[in-house]
A and B are shown apart, each in its own frame.
Chain A
Amino acid sequence: MKSFRERIENKEMVITAELFAPKGIDMTGIKRKVEILREHVHAFNVTDNQRATMRVGSLGICAWLENKMNVETIFQLNCRDRNRLALQSDLLSASLLGIKNVLVITGDHPSVGDHKHSKAVFDLDSVQLLSVIKELERGYDFSGNELKGSPTIFSGSTINPAATPIEPHVIKFKKKVEAGAQFFQTQVVFETDKFIKFQKKIKNLNVPVIAGISLLKNYEFAKFLDDTVPGLNVPEDLLERMKNSKDYKKERIEIACETIQKLKPYVAGFHFMVFGLEKEIPLILERM
C-alpha cells in the first residue's frame, strides 16, 4: 500500500482522519475508531494535548498505532509544550519509532485548557519549527551540530482558510511553505466560498491542501461549534437546514457531501474530524 507521502507526491487523493488523544491510557475508543476507518483512510492524525488539555502524548499514541495497529499516522506536534530541545528530541524519537509524518501546530493557549496557569513555551513558532525539521533532515540540529543519523520527515502544517482578515494568515502560510511545509491540513470548512477564495490566493505556491470536514451532529451541536470554536463559523443556511431537518443523520451527511463536491477541484484530499461519528465516514466516501 502506498504511503501518505507517496500518494500526495503522486497527486492522488488522500483521506485522513483525526483521533483525539484520550485523557488516560484506555485505548478502547481509539481502537474502535481505527477499526472502523482503517480500510478507508490513508493516515490518522493524533492530536497533541488538544485545546490545551492534558492527554496521552501524540507521539506515544502514534507509535502505539503504527506498531500495534499497523496504520500510518501523522504526529501532531505543538510549540506550546516544548522548547527547542524537546521539539527536536521528540522529532528524532518519532523517527526512531517509525513515524514518518509530522503536523506542526502552534498550540492553543493554556488559558483555554484545563491547566490554565501552566507556563506556555512557544520557544519556536510553527514557521521556525518547520525550518528546524528541514535542518534535522539535512543532518544538523538547530545549533548547527551534526547528527549521527538524520531523520526523514514529511512535514505539514495547518491553515484556517476562513480566518478574517485573511491577509496576515496568507503571509504566514507563505512563510510556512518557504520553511518547508509539504502539505497543509485545514480547520473544518463550512464556508466553501471563503475556502475557494483563499485557495486562489495561494494557487501558485503549488502546495497540497487537505480540507477539514466535519459532521454536524444536530442543530444544537452546529450552534455549539459556531459559538464556541475559535475560527469556525457555521453559515446561517446550514444552521437553518439542521434546524428544520427531520433526519439529522441524512442531513449532515448530505451537507458533508456537498461541501466535498464543492471543494474537490481545489484540494489534495480531505481530513475528517467527526467527533464520534466515524461510522458515517465510509458512507460519505462511497459517494465521492
Chain B
Amino acid sequence: MIVTRFKSEEEIYNVLKPFKKLVFIGCNICAAECNTSGEKILKEYKEKFEQKGFEVVYSMLIEGMCNQNLVKRDIKKFRDIEYDAVISFACGAGTQSVMRVGGKNVITLLNTIYLARKPRVGSFTESCIMCGDCMLNQTMVCPKTRCSKGITNGPCGGSVNGCCEVDPDRKCAWVEIYEKLEEKGETWRIEKIFQPLKNVNESKPRKDLNK
C-alpha cells in the first residue's frame, strides 16, 4: 500500500486561506489504512476545520482514488453543490485523479511517502521503490529499498554490528539478506556481481503503460 502523512498544520492552513466552503474526498483504501483518510479521519477534520471557520459542505469516500474513472463517476454526486475547494485525502496519484476530473481548486492535505507492506496494525514497512528491475528472486529482501544507499553488491563500510550507519536501530539490509539466504543455504545467490540498472524505468519520465 501507499503510505501517506499529513502535511504540517502551518502548510495546510496557509494553502486553505483563500477558501471557505470545502468538499472532502477521501480514499478508502491505502490512506484509510494508514489513518490519513477514512470515515473517522474525515469526521475529525470536518470538526477541526469548522472550528477554524471553514464550512464542509460535502464529504465522501472513494474506494481507490488512484482509479480516475471511479473518481470521475463518484464526484458527480456533489456537482450541484456550491463549493470553493475540493480537499483530497489521498496519495499523489489519487489527488491527481481529482485534479484531472474534479474541477476547480483541488488541495491535498497529504505527503506521499512510500510503498509499504503492513506486517501488523499500525506498522508500515517500506518494501519497494518500484525500480523496474526486481532482484527479489536473488535477495529476498530488497536492497534498493532497505539499504539506505540502495547498493546492490553487498554491505558498505558503515554496516556495523549488523546495523545501518544512518539509523543504528535499523538492521543493515545486506545483513538481513545474508541471514535469510544463509538459513536456506543459498548465499551463492549474492556471490555474483549485480550490474548497474539499465532498465527503462530508471530513466525519467518513465514510459506510461497504455493498453
Contact = CB atoms under 8 A, between A and B. Distances in A.
Interface residues of A, number: 38
Interface in A141-167: 142, 158-160, 163-165, 167
A112 B166 CA distance: 7
B198 to A, nearest CB: 9
Nearest to B168: A230
Contact of B155 (A79, A105, A172): A172
Contacts of A125: 149, 151-153
B174 interface: yes
A125 to B, nearest CB: 4
A172 B153 contact: yes
A108 B157 CA distance: 8
Interface of B: 148-162, 165-166, 172, 174-175, 177-178, 182, 187, 190-191, 193-196
Given A84-B196, A169-B159, A109 B190 contact: no
B24 to A, nearest CB: 32
A174 interface: yes
**Which one of A128, A168, A171, A179 has the highest number of Cβ atoms from chain B below 10 Å of its Cβ?**
A168
Nearest to A110: B166
B155 A108 contact: no
B25 to A, nearest CB: 32
A131 interface: yes
**Which one of B148, B175, B196 has the highest number of Cβ atoms from chain A below 10 Å of its Cβ?**
B196
A123 B196 contact: yes
A127 interface: yes
A112 to B, nearest CB: 6
A231 B158 contact: yes
Contacts of A172: 153-155, 174
A138 to B, nearest CB: 16
Given A112-B166, A167-B178, A231-B157, A178 B193 contact: yes
B157 A163 contact: yes
